[in-house]
Structure 1
Amino acid sequence: MATVDRRQQILDAAARSFSIYGFKATTMDQVAKDAKVGKGTIYTFFADKEELFGAILNEYILEMKAFAEDVLNDQLPFFENLHNVLIAMVNYRESHRLTIQLTHEVKDMGTPAAIDALQKVEIAIVGFIKRAIENAIEKRQIKPCDPEITAFVMLRLYIAFVFEWAETHEKLSNEEIARLFRLYLEDGLAVPPV
């Protein structure tokens, strides 16, 4: 039991450190001090900083997926449901301290580990959306399409609507984003009712 608790102490301390300082500036000494363990104790669980960071990132991705799954509602039409999930995932990603810090680190320093981490987060989101698209194709709710490319386009469209547009224009409401989503995608993919 103590082993699991120590490992979790280390993970919690590392998550705080990576969220505050980013990947590059976080040290194993900081994590050990914050976790109140010896630095050697960290190495009994994790080979190096990269492996520790990978464990933090995996936990974050699992949390984000669970958050998105909680938003899913099988009673809603596909595009409405997907809109709700996309908004939830994009907002979760952009409001979480870890991804905020990593985004700054990528922009400021181009740290390879931060770039890789953000790509893994995007791959996880695209994978989640891809599975929803595959289910919708199977249920004949949308036309056959390449689920991975479609998921990528949908995610990019949401990022553009939610964040990039707001950099130079008035922020769009969730209702306006849903309307634009339908305008650009639903009319092109939706199978007409029988």
Structure 2
Amino acid sequence: MARVSQEHLDARRRQILDGAARCFARNGFHATSMQDVLKEVDLSAGAVYRYFSGKEELISAIVTEVLTEVRDTFEAAGRQSPPPPPEVMVGEVMGRMLSLRPGLVDEGRAVFPRLIVQVWAETLRDDELSKVLNEGLAKVSTVWVGLVERYQENGMMRADVPAASVARTMIAAAQGFIAQMALFGSAPVEVLQEGLRGLMSWDGPDVVGPDGSLGG
């Protein structure tokens, strides 16, 4: 009997994960059965159970993978040097995130935003997955606090606001846009960038520089 290559094994595992992701994004983790997954990927039960012992292991694998991908995207963007303007930075995060799975579509709709929302919900009921989420957020926050501190040092942001608060709000803006895309359909990343640019604009000389002085 010919040996199955690692490349084939990896491709089959990817096929199962992507098919399950479409099902989970469509109907949620717990309304989706293993029969739904088998039908989606067009494989026998034996072929799927060779890779995953059951639905819970499949859910765990997808949640961990998605959280890792999102964390890595935020971290990579936050480490740019020199960093682009804040609104461009957040927009780049969204662009990178949406390009993670360009082929993962369901009836012409991008799956990833809906899948991320399902993943967030799943972490509320699973302590181990919640731990993965919180560890990832801590790593992302550390990188983005450093990013905000650079913005403040360069006079691109107020220096009288804690960097940790600003970083968390920037992350929340990206997360909120993902939720909007999942709930209301896709929108150009430029919408988020333009909105942030408007929110960050000031009518008067009230931007506080690193030395405490006011600038225009």
Q: Which residue pairs with 1:60 in the alignment?
A: 66
Q: Which moved more, 1:14-23 or 1:55-64?
A: 55-64
Q: CA deviation at 1:158?
A: 5.8
Match of 2:88 among 81, 84, 87: 84
Contact 1:137 1:144 (8 Å CA) reproduced: no
Q: Which amino acid aligns with 1:180?
A: L
Q: Which amino acid aligns with 1:58?
A: T
- Structure 1 unaligned spans of 5+: none
- Judging changes above 3 Å, is the alpha-carbon distance between structure 1 residues 9 and 173 closer, same or farther for their aligned structure 2 residues? closer
Q: Which residue pairs with 2:12 in the alignment?
A: 6
Match of 1:175 among 180, 191, 194: 194
Contact 1:83 1:178 (8 Å CA) reproduced: yes
Q: CA deviation at 1:114?
A: 6.8
Alpha-carbon distance in structure 2 between the residues aligned to 1:61 and 1:160: 16
Q: CA deviation at 1:87?
A: 3.1
Q: Which residue pairs with 1:75 in the alignment?
A: 82
- Judging changes above 3 Å, is the alpha-carbon distance between structure 1 residues 31 and 159 closer, same or farther for their aligned structure 2 residues? closer
Q: CA deviation at 1:10?
A: 0.9
Q: Which residue pairs with 1:17 in the alignment?
A: 23
Q: CA deviation at 1:22?
A: 2.0
**Residues 117-144 of structure 1 deviation map (CA, whole Å, 9 limit, x = unaligned):** 9977687466424313235548983679
Alpha-carbon distance in structure 2 between the residues aligned to 1:151 and 1:123: 16
Contact 2:148 2:163 (8 Å CA) reproduced: no
SS of match in other structure, 2:50 = helix
Compute the RMSD of aligned alpha carbons.
4.7
Alpha-carbon distance in structure 2 between the residues aligned to 1:112 and 1:178: 30
Contact 1:90 1:158 (8 Å CA) reproduced: yes
**Corresponding residue pairs, total:** 176
Task: Give the TM-score normalised by the residue count of structure 2.
Answer: 0.55
Q: Which amino acid aligns with 1:43?
A: Y
**Greater RCO, 1 or 2 (C-alpha within 8 Å, sep 6+):** 2
Q: Which moved more, 1:47-56 or 1:116-125?
A: 116-125
Larger radius of gyration: 2
Match of 2:52 among 46, 52, 56: 46
Q: Which moved more, 1:173-182 or 1:50-59?
A: 173-182
Q: Which moved more, 1:115-124 or 1:172-181?
A: 115-124
Establish whether residue 130 from structure 1 lines up as the match of residue 142 from structure 2: yes
Alpha-carbon distance in structure 1 between the residues aligned to 2:151 and 2:16: 44
Alpha-carbon distance in structure 1 between the residues aligned to 2:78 and 2:145: 16
Contact 1:20 1:98 (8 Å CA) reproduced: no
Task: Give the TM-score normalised by the residue count of structure 1.
Answer: 0.59
Establish whether residue 100 from structure 1 lines up as the match of residue 114 from structure 2: yes
Match of 2:171 among 152, 155, 173: 155
**Residues 142-192 of structure 1 deviation map (CA, whole Å, 9 limit, x = unaligned):** 679463x5432333356679988xx9xxxx662342242365xx946x624
Alpha-carbon distance in structure 2 between the residues aligned to 1:16 and 1:8: 12
Q: Taking every aligned residue pair, what percent have the same amino acid on both sides? A: 21
Q: Which amino acid aligns with 1:84?
A: V
